[in-house]
Chains A and B, each alone.
Chain A
């Protein structure tokens, strides 16, 4: 039982390049989330998926797209990376609709030059 896994662990992009961050969970959770973490700003929600087949914008969605491929997988795509997207990205999942507990992956550290 691996929990929430993310790939890659580290990535360096040039401005304008695209990439997809992968996330998978093996806990049969319904909801999945993408956050970014910047110094002094806690975690900010980018997109979330309440269930398979649905996605919705969070607090900071501009410049990102997501795909909920199936119940296990939720990917985050940067179509044209910008230096402002340099951050640590975390994926999380949640099982119980009555609970708020989220389980986080280990993160992807992205640098855009």
Chain B
């Protein structure tokens, strides 16, 4: 069974601070996705990384896939109250094969940014 350990589970910071969320596994993934979920809604995809060492930026959010494709991080610069939400990492293996694109999700990080 593949597991994704996400940390921290809770993060409460002031507006303007920087933060990093980590997603770690002992398993290798073909891709790693980050989703954001707001209360009462389903997760929404932020980014997919597929190459070891890959870095992607989405405005103030920077995503990195580890060289060995076993870990990933999400860094937010100058956090804003609008960044508040649940952040989930999800690892995928062999999309075109028998795994049918099944994802393994981390436990999630609840981020609260105070004005």
Interface residues of A (CB under 8 A from B): 4, 31, 33, 40-45, 48, 50, 56, 58-59, 90, 92, 94, 97-107
Contacts and interface: CB of A to CB of B under 8 A. Distances in A.
Q: Is the interface of B mostly helix, strand, loop or mixed?
A: loop
Given A41-B107, A97-B95, A100-B92, A106 B101 contact: no
B102 A48 contact: yes
Interface residue tally of chain B, by bracket?
Answer: 20 to 34
Contacts of A58: 102
Given A44-B105, A102-B101, 12 more contacts: A40-B108, A42-B4, A43-B88, A43-B105, A92-B42, A94-B101, A99-B95, A100-B48, A100-B101, A102-B45, A104-B43, A106-B40
Contact of A4 (B42, B48, B92): B42
A70 B102 CA distance: 20
Contacts, number: 67
Contacts of B44: 104
A107 B92 contact: no
Nearest to B98: A50
Contacts of B72: none
A31 B101 contact: yes
B92 to A, nearest CB: 4
B62 interface: no
A43 B88 CA distance: 9
Nearest to A50: B100
B64 interface: no
Interface string B2-33: 00101001000000000000000000001101
A43 B43 contact: yes
B113 interface: no
A106 B102 contact: no
B103 A102 contact: yes
B66 interface: no
